[in-house]
């Protein structure tokens, strides 16, 4: 059956979301239709609206969510109606070189780089006012019902609170994993985290969990410092308080630069600053924020020649289908907290207000 439900449709760039009635087609073979219970708002959704991340319009955004399976297509055996699940914007097909390698987690079936806005078979399951609506990175969670491929959904503990563990669908896992998986922060090391949104705070939590002795949090919004300290930051620095470049400030604070730095904003200038602030020979800098489209970085290659490592991290380096159920289990065992990352809870129809809160740093 086709389901008619509410969705937040983005008809064109730089406009508010429009709450519309959409038709959601039944799942085809190896697909799963999910009733979305809770979804988070992530800056990557906003990057699509502003053109920083290029995707086709009209589109249903959203990629950080949790819900309950409504129905499954033929051939789906791992998941059944009624299961609690988290959609995965990085799928795990288990067959491509990314999935088969122990070194990586970015499945070749992802739609992040190509940005087709379609299901793997090249079609869409959403229609509104007679028009086909695009999917967003295989998830599209700003809707009461969505359809995802079976490789892009993880079954989780039936007791998990969906309004909390939805954050494991992106923000928490991305930040925490960047520290513990991608950088592999060691006990006693020093870290710098640029950007203290939900993902940046999750990096702070990951650095602390890994035993870092010093965690320097960097943000232009000093209102974010109290929460960063609550979650493990030892120092908080606002670049506006200094006349000199921030990487010089951090090198002075540490004597030789940090062991690990993380850029969790998605700006080219902060990416270069994060690289420059890490130790010149064995420092590691990780890009976590989505880079803006059509912008390149120019930097002095001596920064790399002396031995620094510059890395990227998508979804915290986790193999999604394998790791998400384990992360949910760890949350249930109280190995980490999610509540401090939740500042506001709004009804779905107030999604535009939610994005206003994101844009004003609240």
Cα dist. 267→15, 193, 261 in Å?
A: 22, 14, 14
- Over the stretch 34-64, which tens digit does the pLDDT of each residue have? 999 999 999 999 999 999 999 999 999 999 9
Q: Which of 107, 166, 170, 278 is catalytic?
A: 170
**What does the pLDDT read at residue 266?**
94
**What does the pLDDT read at residue 113?**
86
Residue whose C-alpha is closest to residue 2's, from 24, 20, 21: 24
Q: Which of 5, 47, 135, 247 is catalytic?
A: 47
**What does the pLDDT read at residue 74?**
97
Angle at 143 between CA 86 and CA 114, to 5 degrees: 70
Q: Which of 18, 30, 44, 202 is catalytic?
A: 44
**What does the pLDDT read at residue 4?**
98
Split at pLDDT 50, 70, 90, the class of 293 is: confident
Residue whose C-alpha is closest to residue 2's, from 23, 32, 21: 23
- Over the stretch 144-192, which tens digit does the pLDDT of each residue have? 999 999 999 999 999 999 999 999 999 999 999 999 999 999 999 999 9
Q: 101 catalytic, yes or no? A: no
Q: 344 catalytic, yes or no? A: no
Angle at 175 between CA 173 and CA 181, to 5 degrees: 75
Residue whose C-alpha is closest to residue 316's, from 21, 80, 89, 13: 89
Percent of the chain scoring above 90 in pLDDT: 98
Q: Which of 5, 42, 101, 191 is catalytic?
A: 42
Q: Is the pLDDT of residue 221 over 90?
A: yes
Q: 149 catalytic, yes or no? A: no
Split at pLDDT 50, 70, 90, the class of 66 is: very high
Pair type for strands 260-263 and 18-24: unpaired
**Mean of pLDDT values over 231-248:** 98
- Over the stretch 243-279, which tens digit does the pLDDT of each residue have? 999 999 999 999 999 999 999 999 999 999 999 999 9
**What does the pLDDT read at residue 292?**
87
All structural domains of the chain, each given as residue ranges with its CATH number in brackets, are 3-171+317-360 (3.90.180.10), 183-312 (3.40.50.720)
* Nearby residues of 182 by Cβ (< 8 Å), 6 or more positions away: 286, 311, 313, 316, 317
Q: 42 catalytic, yes or no? A: yes
Q: 102 catalytic, yes or no? A: no
Residue whose C-alpha is closest to residue 45's, from 194, 266, 193: 266
- Over the stretch 310-359, which tens digit does the pLDDT of each residue have? 999 999 999 999 999 999 999 999 999 999 999 999 999 999 999 999 99
């Amino acid at each position: 059956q086709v389901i008619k439900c509410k969705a937040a449709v983005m008809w064109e760039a730089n406009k508010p979301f429009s709450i519309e009635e959409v038709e959601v087609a039944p799942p085809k073979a190896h697909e799963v239709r999910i009733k979305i219970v809770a979804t988070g708002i992530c800056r990557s959704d906003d990057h699509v609206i502003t053109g920083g991340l290029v995707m086709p319009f009209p589109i249903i955004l959203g990629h950080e969510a949790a819900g309950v399976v409504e129905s499954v297509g033929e051939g789906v055996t791992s998941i059944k109606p009624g299961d609690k699940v988290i959609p995965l914007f990085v799928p795990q097909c288990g067959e491509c070189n990314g999935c088969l390698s122990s070194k990586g987690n970015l499945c070749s079936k992802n739609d992040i780089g190509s940005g087709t806005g379609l299901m793997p078979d090249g079609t869409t399951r959403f229609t509104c006012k007679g028009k086909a609506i695009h999917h967003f990175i295989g998830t599209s969670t700003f809707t009461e019902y969505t359809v995802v491929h079976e490789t892009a959904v993880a079954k989780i503990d039936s007791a998990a609170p969906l309004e909390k563990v939805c954050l494991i669908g992106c923000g928490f896992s991305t930040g925490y994993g960047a520290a513990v998986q991608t950088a592999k922060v060691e006990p006693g090391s020093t870290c710098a985290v640029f950007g203290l949104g939900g993902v940046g705070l999750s990096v702070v939590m990951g650095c602390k969990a890994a035993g870092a002795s010093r965690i320097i949090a960097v943000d232009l919004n000093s209102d974010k410092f109290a929460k960063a300290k609550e979650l493990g930051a030892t120092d908080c620095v606002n670049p506006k308080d200094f006349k000199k470049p921030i990487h010089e400030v951090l090198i002075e604070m540490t004597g030789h630069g940090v062991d690990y730095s993380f850029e969790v904003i998605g700006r080219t200038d902060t990416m270069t600053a994060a690289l420059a602030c890490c130790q010149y020979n064995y420092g590691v800098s990780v890009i976590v924020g989505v880079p803006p489209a059509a912008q390149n970085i120019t930097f002095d290659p001596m920064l790399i020649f002396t031995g620094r490592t510059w890395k990227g991290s998508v979804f915290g380096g986790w193999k999604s289908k394998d790791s998400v159920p384990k992360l949910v289990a760890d949350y249930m065992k109280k190995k980490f907290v999610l509540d401090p990352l939740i500042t506001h809870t709004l009804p779905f129809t107030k999604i535009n207000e939610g994005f206003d809160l994101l844009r004003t740093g609240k």
